[in-house]
Amino acid sequence: MIQHTIEELHDLFKNQKVNPTEYYNELFKEIEIQQERLNAFVTITKDEALKSLSEASFNTLLSGIPYVLKDNYNTKDILTTASSRMLEDYVPVFSAHVVEKFKQEELCLVGKASMDELAMGGTNKSALTGAVSNPWDTKRIAGGSSGGSAALVASGVVPFALGSDTGDSIRKPAGFCGVVGFKPTWGRISRYGVIPYASSLDHLGAFTRNIRDMAIVIESMAGRDHHDMTSSFENVPHYLDNLNDDIKGKKIAVLRTVSDEITDQRFIDNFEHVVHTLKSLGATVEDVTMPKVLLRAILPTYTIISNAEATSNHSCLDGIKYGNLQAGASTDDVMINSRTNGFGDHIKRRFILGNLALATENQEKMFRKAQRVRRLIVDELNKIYEDYDIVLTPNGGSIAPLIDEASDDRFSDEYMILENHLALGNFAGLPSLSMPSGFVDNMPVAVNLMGRLFEEQTVLNVSYALENALGYKNQFSRED
């Protein structure tokens, strides 16, 4: 009963095929079961959801639909921790712009999802509430930093959940959990009221179990917001109305510098099947390359820029302006004690690196140099878009790692390009979507499609065609 698409749920509610209150009572029973199994929620908001449901008209596609927020979206009068001890008691006095939009759409928030602390990580193991399990195999990670959101959509309890993506934090967990993860163009969605990581790289986006639902959700999220001066004035298309699977004539570039890094033959076969499928659908599919030296520079460049920006963004988390206050003999002692107690060791290491990169004597040789390398990478990527509509890559080269073995140590040679290339979409601000493409060892695997700036419709349409051809949609796993 629970695992419906948005359109199916709308039909059930609108045409009174099910009683909405009874549906939600069953939903929250399932939520408790999945929380015990996956540990994916920070906060379950039953009262808030039922209040919104009582006010729903069911006159629009999203009215009365349940959803989940990553716990870095500020929610008025509802705990917002970003999975950090520093914010474990933080209850905002305002809501993020997207949350307000969803309230006007009469959506029903059922909970806040676990994440890597302050969104800094790729395993979701650093969350204050502990690791999140993958619905397909609870011994494995869901990915990060938006692992809680991905796991809950993949478990079938909600048709969609929101996340944020600074390097691959929507798309990597989407791939691990067998769902669709999409971050539109930088600026397409207002980030006002979302606790930041690195402002020049941060994107908002969503998880769904099919492309049609993604078109609905992203259209609802997108648009100009005067509170966020980086949000775009570009008109938001009607993504669902314009969705079609005719991709004849579309030009797709297969980025072989990435796909050639795959070592597992099963992943190679899966990716080549996707390439063959796109050709069979009438698209022009050709191989392209980028200089390997630039792709190997993605991770160190990302590491310097993201941690430097995070250090600046989170300087306010000092126990005085914001955060978990710890006593001290002086103002300096209060800040030192609060930050020492409030942040995990991995966050402290990132802040040390960020401060090092921002130090006056180091800015030119670290932070500014990283910015110049980022520009070189983006310029090289943009050359591909002079001739192609979409860049296709594997989402990664492995299934979700075991929780006990998962690590954010990503500097090994075999990891450097294949498992970090999704940050290209953040460097360039491009719309980037990861979607299921099959299974290896009974675990989901995925591919990524990345388009030109503000051409979300093209990304959605090519993905829709591929989804229809492959058949991997509306997947969920709720049993061990």
> What are 21-34's pLDDT values in tens digits?
999 999 999 999 99
Catalytic residue among 70, 101, 250, 473: 70
Which pLDDT tens digit goes with each residue over 314-340?
999 999 988 999 999 999 999 999 999
| Separation between Cα atoms, residue 406 and residue 60, nearest integer Å | 42
Rounded Cα–Cα distance for residues 462 and 457 (Å): 9
Predicted confidence (pLDDT) at residue 341 exceeds the cutoff of 50: yes
Looking at the predicted structure, is the pLDDT value of residue 480 above 50?
A: no
Task: Give the pLDDT band of residue 407 (cuts 50, 70, 90).
Answer: confident
Q: What are the backbone angles phi and psi of residue 122, rounded to the nearest 5°? A: -130, 15
Residue 2 pLDDT class (50, 70, 90 cuts): low
Query: Which helix (H) or strand (E) segment is 38 a member of?
Result: helix 20-38
User: What global pTM score does this model have?
Assistant: 0.97
Active-site residue, selected from the candidate residues 95, 114, 169, 190: 169
Q: Is 145 known to be catalytic?
A: yes
Specify whether the backbone of 77 is left (phi greater than 0), alpha (psi in -120 to 50) or beta: left
70 is catalytic: yes
Q: Is residue 164 among the annotated active site residues?
A: no
Distance CA 391, CA 348 (A): 36
pLDDT in tens, 423-466: 999 999 999 999 999 999 999 999 999 999 999 999 999 999 99
Q: Which domains does the chain have, with CATH numbers?
A: 6-247+401-470 (3.90.1300.10)
Q: How confident is the model at residue 413 (pLDDT cuts 50, 70, 90)?
A: low
**% the chain with pLDDT above 70:** 98
pLDDT bin (cut points 50, 70, 90) of residue 406 is: confident
Range 364-382 average pLDDT: 98
Sign of CA dihedral 13, 6, 67, 147: positive
Question: Residues 225, 228, 231, CA angle at the centre, nearest 5°?
Answer: 70
Q: Is the pLDDT of residue 200 over 90?
A: yes
* Cα distance between residue 472 and residue 179, in whole Å: 9
Q: Which whole-number Å values give the CA distances from 180 to 154, 198, 237, 290, 444, in the listed order?
A: 9, 23, 20, 26, 11
Q: Alpha-carbon distance 258 to 306, whole Å?
A: 22
* Arithmetic mean of pLDDT over the chain: 96
CA gap 458, 214 in Å, rounded? 13
How far apart CA 331 and CA 434 sit, in angstroms, is 46
Residue with token string 């099959």 = 438
d(CA 472, CA 273) in angstroms, rounded, equals 13
Q: Is 317 helix (H, G, I), strand (E, B) or coil?
A: strand
Q: Is the pLDDT at 473 greater than 50, yes or no? A: yes
Q: Which of 145, 155, 259, 338 is catalytic?
A: 145
Cis amide prior to 95 (ω within 30 degrees): no
Q: Is 61 within 8 Å of 7 (Cβ atoms)?
A: yes
